[in-house]
A and B are shown apart, each in its own frame.
Chain A
Amino acid sequence: MSAATTAVERPGAQAPPVRVHVPPHSIASELRAIRIVWRRDLIRFKADRIRIAATFVQPLLFLFVLGSGLQQLSSAGTHGVNLKTFIYPGILCISVMFTAMFSAASIVWDREFGFLREMMVAPVRRSSIVIGKCLGGATVACSQGVIMILLGPLVHVDYNVLLILGIFGLQLLLAFAITAFGVMIAIRIKQMQAFFGVMQMIVMPMFFISGALFPASGLPGWLTVLNRIDPLTYAVDPMRRLVFDHIHVSPVARHVLDPGVTWWGWHVPALLEAAVVLALGLLMMGIAIWEFSATE
């Protein structure tokens, strides 16, 4: 123990201590709290290479293994469009989804390792912590999403500024909504295993039902209902429209592969779909804030 020595060596030991004080909370101080909670997620993400790799592998598996494998079966049904191109928009969605889930899980993690308490006792609104978390998760997930965007040419989707901006915007929206959803769940759950159990139970069905891997028209009635309820549908569909707007496919193929989501026969516009995702995200963040503020 170097206890005694460092005490003696300390320079300026006699100088009066630096006295700081904690100001009463204001909008500025809350924004600062949001910013640091957000930044912490980024710092931690950068340090966690394994996590970056892990969340990256799964979408790649879906895209290249599933995409290439099923291509042989489905070439008749895709009207000349490569299956990988078809599922690419769906993969753009799930890649941010998995990462966003991981980000939300850090709340459970923080609870297990005690760090949550440090944030809970700080003189800031609980809502600032939740908002910072949601934004942090969304940002981290989007940085992951950018890598997926860059893979476009490999599946015959060429770079285009408008396309990339559009994809990025949709990913941001989806990442935010999913993180908010994850945070809402994570606040109630005390153990990591339980959290991933619940996530697995909710996220995988959401992914399969969303139409990320198949067109959302002509489905059996029960699946159509589930598909329209699934929030992820409203991220996958505009994403696919966006991608199909920028590639060359025959009108027939477009009609079959990108039929668009309908509500009782009415075509839901892409902007409304994006608004649905945003509204759900805000709603779940609201619930998360409410839950978090209620805990002692």
Chain B
Amino acid sequence: MSSNGATPAIVVDGLTKHFDEVQAVRGVDFEVAPGEVFGFLGPNGAGKTTTINMLCTLAKPTSGAATVAGHDVVSERDDVRRNIGLVFQDPTLDNYLSGEENLKLHAELYGLQRDLVKPRMREVLEMVGLWERKDSPAGTYSGGMRRRLEIARGMMHSPRVLFLDEPTIGLDPQTRRSIWTYIRELKEREEITIFMTTHYMDEAEWCDRIAIMDHGEIVALDAPDRLKAEVGKDRVTIHTEDDGAAIAALKERFGIEAMMAEGAVTFGVPGGEEFVPRLFAGLGVPIEGVSVHRPTLDDVFMSYTGTTIRDAEEDAAKNRNRMMMQMMHGARR
């Protein structure tokens, strides 16, 4: 993958992780080139966080191997840790300490050169626009500011690879965009590889390459544009009076495999706009509404997994609920 011939920032080879019966990650392989922004995209529970935890030495792989910044994540754990920065999904700041004290603590834990701590601290705080607020306790920061402080902290020791696990989860769209501006800018400024996970499709567009993960496996891996081009077809979504009949008719008359997603009939077809008039003329089922759009990452996700990311998450949630119910029933007995 590393077309420029440099040593890859991350190499992953047949990595798996089992928790008791559950196979959270089922053998993933990929490489990330230095300086790349690499995204892991998938619904909650797809195994993204488990993978990132293994790469960050927070979890031991069940089998397979991985190197980060040239060091093995199991046998050279400390070397990996010295070379990576981490921003977790859940906040990990000390809310009683000020922004500056949080960074200072980090610098001490990582043993940074004393004379460089102050200038570096100022630099990363300015990078995320928090220099003016450095003396306030982190607990008084807004959600977006806290996340920015965590990014600054992750950058404090000039890591070679920065891991961001859902860096924008729980933030409003505007704050999410600003976080992304900071991340891109940071990447321009420092020679750093960024590995991130997200379940927001639109955020994956910020990545140089993305891997789509589903049920613990990578189902697609490429640049977002290339992935979209591969889908090739426009996505047509129709609302009809009888969805079942519409799907049957599509198959019978046009040879198109359609499916239900988010309460509508949807299918991919080349040249969607030209197809719509033929559809109205030939479907035989009354159509109430129609929309055509160019392929998005949602479509990419759908073409590889057969479901939209939102439906996949709802299913996962339903499964969790069902398990909870069973556990409660079991307990009652």
Contact = CB atoms under 8 A, between A and B. Distances in A.
Contact of A32 (B108, B127, B190): B108
Q: Which 3 A-B pairs have the closest CB atoms?
A: A6-B129, A3-B178, A36-B108
B95 interface: yes
A118 B106 contact: yes
Contacts of A20: 112-113, 116-117, 120, 156-158
A2 B92 CA distance: 24
Interface in A92-149: 110, 113-124
Nearest to B157: A22
B106 to A, nearest CB: 7
A43 B97 contact: yes
A113 B105 CA distance: 16
A26 to B, nearest CB: 8
A25 B82 CA distance: 9
A4 B81 CA distance: 32
A4 to B, nearest CB: 7
B83 to A, nearest CB: 7
Nearest to B128: A6
B210 to A, nearest CB: 24
B182 interface: yes
A295 to B, nearest CB: 10
B51 to A, nearest CB: 15
B190 A17 contact: yes
Q: For the side of the interface on B, what is the size category?
A: 35 or more
A10 B132 CA distance: 11
Given A24-B78, A118-B92, A1 B144 contact: yes
B182 A3 contact: yes
Contact of A19 (B101, B127, B158): B158
A296 B177 CA distance: 34
B327 interface: no
A237 to B, nearest CB: 37
Interface stretch (B53-61, B239-247, B265-273, B283-291): B53-61
A210 B204 CA distance: 62
B311 interface: no
A124 B104 CA distance: 16
A121 B95 contact: no
A118 B94 CA distance: 9
Contacts of A10: 126-127
Given A18-B116, A18-B120, A124 B82 contact: no
Contact of A7 (B57, B58, B129, B137): B129
Contact of A117 (B88, B109, B116): B88
B158 A33 contact: no
A4 B105 CA distance: 28
Contact of B56 (A3, A33, A121): A121
Contacts of B104: 36
A180 B78 CA distance: 26
B252 interface: no
A123 B78 CA distance: 5
Nearest to A114: B92
A29 B59 CA distance: 24
Contacts of A17: 123, 158, 189-190
